[in-house]
Copies of this chain bind each other. A is one copy, B any other.
Amino acid sequence: MVVDKLSDADVDRLFQALADATRRDIVRRVTVAEYSVSGLAALYAMSFAAVQKHVAVLERASLVTKEKRGREQIVRGNHEGLQKARRLLDEYEAIWRQRAERIADILAEG
């Protein structure tokens, strides 16, 4: 059962978003607790604007969500994106497993 069809561009955005250590750290943190954007920015040795951009990349990749609360923007982890990424890798693993079985069959025949 295909839950939901991802375009190549969606998948690009997902893995691209995960391909940066700062962004992966943000994902971990906002999964455990809520942070405002400035709260996150305080954690890293870079400008507020840089962190803001990282959060935007994560949001476009569906790895976090933002919600306005007063003058703050609250960032939370979004399980959806993570699940998508994981399912993709599961598919690759499945292909690999099929290959292994096919090889085993050939060896059994021969």
Bound-complex Cα distance A41 to B39 (A): 47
Q: Does A82 interact with chain B (Cβ within 8 Å)?
A: yes
Residues 3-41 (chain A) with a chain B CB within 8 angstroms: 8, 11-12, 14-16, 18-21, 24, 27-28, 31-32
A89 near B86 with CB under 8 A, answer yes
Q: Does A90 interact with chain B (Cβ within 8 Å)?
A: yes
Given A8-B21, A21-B8, are A92 and B15 also a contact pair (CB < 8 Å)? no
B11 near A92 with CB under 8 A, answer no
Given A86-B89, A89-B85, A96-B77, are A19 and B28 also a contact pair (CB < 8 Å)? no
Number of copies: 2
30 A-B pairs in the complex with CB atoms less than 8 angstroms apart: A8-B21, A11-B19, A11-B24, A12-B19, A12-B20, A12-B21, A14-B19, A15-B15, A15-B16, A15-B18, A16-B16, A16-B19, A19-B19, A28-B95, A31-B92, A31-B96, A31-B99, A32-B95, A32-B99, A77-B96, A77-B99, A79-B96, A82-B89, A82-B92, A82-B93, A85-B89, A86-B86, A86-B89, A86-B90, A86-B93
